[in-house]
Amino acid sequence: MSQGNSFGKVAVLCGGHSAEREVSLRSGQTVLAALQQQGIDAHAFDPAEQPLTALLSEQFARAFVVLHGRGGEDGTIQGALQYLGIPYTGSGVLGCALAMDKVRTKQVWQAAGLPVAPSAVITRDKAVDWLGLIDELGGKVMVKPAQEGSSIGMSPANSAEELEQAVALAHRYDNEALVESWLSGPEYTVSILGDQALPAIRVQSTHEFYDYDAKYQAGDTQYHCPAGLCELEERALEQLAVTAFRALGGRGWGRIDVMCDKDGNFKLLEANMVPGMTTKSLVPMAAKAVGLSFEQLVLRILEQNEV
């Protein structure tokens, strides 16, 4: 395995301008420390504090992207790095752009015949029969902004009044709100590294759903790996995740989130092309389950560059 100076000078891109800036900074510091511990000439680089052209003037050879949310996970930074000729980790422009947009992600998965929950898309200027919509989707729904991560702007609703309020909240973050039928089964996440799925993790939260607080602040969220599935179910979930990742053009590494409906059927939720890499994050947890340390994980990700 390649080490140290063979990578050249590495920029760990973190921070940025998105609503997930603070999480990204934490991911960046953790990744930076792991790279430096292995003798790699790595430096934090925050695009909110210096121009991207500094990557060239400071002679960075490649970039490790841990910019979460808009600007970092939506293909924007990937396109800029390609234009500058700097190799970078993770998926390319198209894969990131599709995965960041939950509406387009679902459309791609539906076209590929993959399982997703029934849903509707509400734009800001659209007249809506709130009672009719919530009845059509089963009486309880989850509402999400089309292009935010970390559960920002998400809320459940089980009445016409709550639905209208939830959509208004989502519209603070995006012109499109995705309204999905409520999924009552267990929640799983499957990390992808290269062409392989890592072991699934079952997420168990005391909150009504796995929200921002449950992800980053609550001390009672439980993560089960092994996930408690039989071997046949585990293999089926891993294959579903890999297929979903590839359908979006995913490369290098990422994470696919899945829930079960009341009948136990897997339903794809969303894709994360630049998942969290904090001490509480799920990709490092899954890697650990197959014997990969955090240091080994970041090295594996760094070796898979996109130019």
**Which of 150, 151, 155, 181 is an active site residue?**
150
Q: Which of 300, 117, 99, 47 is nearest to 198 (CA)?
A: 300
Is 270 known to sit in a ligand binding site?
A: yes
Q: Is 257 annotated as a binding residue?
A: yes
Which one from 18, 20, 187, 234 is the annotated catalytic residue? Answer: 20
To the query of whether residue 20 is one of the catalytic residues in this protein, the response is yes
Q: Is 150 a catalytic residue?
A: yes
Q: What's the token pair of residue 306?
A: 């996109």
Residue 180 annotated among the catalytic residues of the structure = no
- Which residue among the candidates 151, 181, 191, 281 is catalytic per the annotation? 281
The residue to which tokens 């934090």 are assigned: 44
> What one-character-per-residue DSSP string does the chain give?
---GGGG-SEEEE---SSTTHHHHHHHHHHHHHHHHHTT--EEEE-TTTS-TTHHHHTT--EEEE---STTTSSSHHHHHHHHHT--EES--HHHHHHHH-HHHHHHHHHHTT--B--EEEEETT----HHHHHHHTTS-EEEEETT--TTTT-EEESSHHHHHHHHHHHHTT-SEEEEEE---S-EEEEEEETTEEPPPEEEE-SSSS--HHHHHT-S--EEESS-S--HHHHHHHHHHHHHHHHHTT--SEEEEEEEE-TTS-EEEEEEESS---STT-HHHHHHHHTT--HHHHHHHHHHSEE-
Task: Tell me phi and psi for residue 274, to 5 degrees.
Answer: -130, 75
- Which residues make up each annotated binding site for Mg(2+)? 257, 270, 272
Positions annotated as catalytic residues are 20, 150, 281
